[in-house]
Amino acid sequence: MMTNLVDLLQPRSRFGIPVLSRLAARWNAFSAERRQRAQIERELNTYTDRELAELGLCRSDIVDVANGTYGQ
C-alpha cells in the first residue's frame, strides 16, 4: 500500500483523528468565545451610566460580565 503525502504530514492521535484538525477545532472554539465576549463588551459600553446602574452594574464591571466572572 502506498502512503499518501498528506497522511505523512498530518500526525494522528491514537484515536485516528488528525492532530491538526483537533487544533483547528480548538482554535475555532476559542475564537468564537472571544468574539462573543467582545460583542458583550461592545453592547454594554453603549449603555449610559444610568442604564448600567439599573442593571446593578458600573463601567468597571463590564469586563467581568463579558468574561463571566462577575460576582464570583
Dump pLDDT digits (tens) for 4-40. Answer: 555 555 566 555 567 778 788 888 899 999 999 999 9
State if pTM tops 0.75: no
DSSP 17: -
Instruction: Give Cα 8 distance to the centre of its chain.
Output: 31
Is 56 inside a domain boundary? Answer: yes
Q: Where are the alpha helices (DSSP H) in the chain?
A: 5-9, 19-45, 49-54, 62-67
Q: What amino acid occupies position 67?
A: N
pLDDT digits (tens, 9 = 90+) for 35-52: 999 999 999 999 999 999
Print the domain residue range for 40: 17-67
Residue 10 lies in a domain: no
The number of distinct structural domains making up the chain is 1
Dihedral sign for Cα atoms in the order 55, 72, 62, 24: negative
Nearest to 37 by CA among 66, 68, 71: 66
Q: Does some domain include residue 72?
A: no
